[in-house]
Structure 1
C-alpha cells in the first residue's frame, strides 16, 4: 500500500472581493472545506497546490495568481483518515496557499471527492468549515489582501 505523505496544502480559492469557494466532502457529510491535498512524490508544494486545485475543481491554477503564504500548521490527523498514512503517523503539516480567480469561474467537482460547492463571504466561509486550520486561514485572508 502507498501511504499519503503527512505534508499537505490548503488552498483558499477566492475572488477579488474575497468570496471563497468551499467544497463539501463526499466521505464526511456537511463537512465543508477549501481545497486540500497531500504532496505526491517529490513535487514542490506549489505543484501540489496546482494539482489539487485542478483535480478538485477543474480550475487550472497556472492561469491565475497562486500565492504561497509561507506559513504552515501542524495538526493531528483525524482518526477517520489515519489509515491513509504510514503506521504511527498522527501529525500532518499543512502549508497555506491562496488563489485569486475571476467571478463566475466554472467549477467542475471531482465526483468521488466532493458532492457540492458554494461561494461564501470569507466570514461565512470561516464559520462553515470543519477544520480549525482552514477557519484560521480564512480569517487571515482580508489582512493578506488589504480588504
Structure 2
C-alpha cells in the first residue's frame, strides 16, 4: 500500500472522567460533526496502543502515560464515509476501528489541534452519545459504565 494512502485500521479513544463525563471534539473538516479521538495507524506495524497514545496527544495534548488507557479488546468494521474515501487506496471501502478508553480527571487541560478540531466539550454520557455522528462512537460511549476501570 502506498504511503500516500491512509491505512484502513484506526483507533477510537473514548476519553472520560471518573464521573463518566465524556470529551467530544468537533471536526474542523466537518463542522457540527462531534466525535471522540480517532486516527489511523501511521505504519502497518505500529502497535494499536502507540496509535492511541499518539492520536490522543496530537488531538488533545493529553499524555496518556499519566492516566489509565485501556484497550477494550473491541473492534468495529464500518463503511468509510464516501466523503473520506479518497484518503484510502482505490477500492478500500471499509475500516477496522479498535476501541480504547482513557480515564482522566475533569480538570485535565485540553489543547486542540486547530487543523483537526474547532472545539471541545465535556458532556454527560447519554448527551455525548446522542451528539456523536458515528454510530460506533456512540455505542462505545454507552458501554462506558460496563467498560471503565475506575
Query: TM-score normalised to the size of structure 1?
Result: 0.97
Who is 2:129 aligned against? 126
Q: Report how many aligned residue pairs link the two structures.
A: 147
Deviations 1:49-83 (A, max 9, x none): 00000000000011111000001000000000000
Who is 2:31 aligned against? 29
Q: Does 1:86 align with 2:89?
A: yes
Could you tell me how far apart the structure 1 residues matched to 2:12 and 2:98 are?
6
Could you tell me how far apart the structure 1 residues matched to 2:59 and 2:114 are?
9
The alignment yields a C-alpha RMSD, in angstroms, of: 1.2
SS of residue paired to 2:89: coil
- Mind listing any 5+ residue stretches in structure 2 that lack a counterpart? none
Change (3 A) 1:100 1:146: closer
Of residues 44, 50, 54, the one that matches 1:51 is: 54
How much does 1:103 deviate?
1.4
SS of residue paired to 2:30: coil
Query: TM-score normalised to the size of structure 2?
Result: 0.95
How much does 1:146 deviate?
7.5
Deviating runs (4+, > 2 A) in structure 1? none
